[in-house]
Amino acid sequence: MHTLLLNASYEPLTVISVHRAVVLVLADKADLVAAGEGHFRSPSTSLPTPSVIRLRGFVRVPYRSTLPLNRRNLVARDGGRCAYCTGRGDTVDHVVPRSRGGEHVWTNVVAACQPCNGHKGDRLLHELGWKLRATPATPKGWSWMLVGVGTTDPAWSEWLAPAGA
């Protein structure tokens, strides 16, 4: 189970473990905003399982104009699925291989399973007769990145919705 961590201004910061969330609440560093199912129990205390917590102090987050292209962000963008066979996408594949002049940019990389990535090698898609499930694009927004490829708690939707929506 995971907990959504909000800044003091109610902006989503990251997803943390329930254990870490309970520690922050019990240390008076965060407030419980939404409780999940069940209770976190110890010999001396009982606390509703936190689904969303808010820090009491504001944390300044450095502004990034572009989202870094790394394996974690790529797998999150592609939903953890292979771009070719919809299996578990856990490797990075360049649609146009770097050996053939392809660049390492968002529009040329996809998540792929190891068998598909190995079979494709340095060939182009038309040489194999393969097609992409979706055209790779630079991700828009940033809140989707917080939750990665796991399932989200419905209680989080209020804080993960785009601004102005």
Q: Please tell me the predicted confidence (pLDDT) of residue 139.
A: 82
Residues 6 and 56 in one domain: yes
Residues 52 and 80 in one domain: no
Q: What are the tokens at 130?
A: 């393969």
Q: Please tell me the predicted confidence (pLDDT) of residue 165.
A: 42
CA 96, chain centre distance (Å): 25
For the chain, the residue count is: 165
For the stretch 114-123, pLDDT in tens is 999 999 999 9
In a domain, 43, yes or no: yes
Q: What are the tokens at 105?
A: 């940019």
Q: Please tell me the predicted confidence (pLDDT) of residue 164.
A: 43
Q: What is the tally of structural domains in the chain?
A: 2
In a domain, 65, yes or no: no
Residues 78 and 112 in one domain: yes
Q: Which residues of the chain have pLDDT under 50?
A: 149, 164-165
Residues 55 and 82 in one domain: no
In a domain, 111, yes or no: yes
In a domain, 114, yes or no: yes
| Biggest CA pair distance of the chain | 65
For the stretch 1-39, pLDDT in tens is 789 999 999 988 888 899 999 999 999 999 999 998 888
Residues 75 and 55 in one domain: no
Report which DSSP code applies to 22: H
Residues 79 and 123 in one domain: yes
Burial of 126: CB neighbours in 10 Å, binned 0-12, 13-18, 19+: exposed
Query: With a threshold of 0.75, does the pTM exceed it?
Result: no
Residues 56 and 41: beta-carbon distance below 8 Å: no
Range(s) of the domain holding residue 48: 2-60+142-160
In a domain, 137, yes or no: no
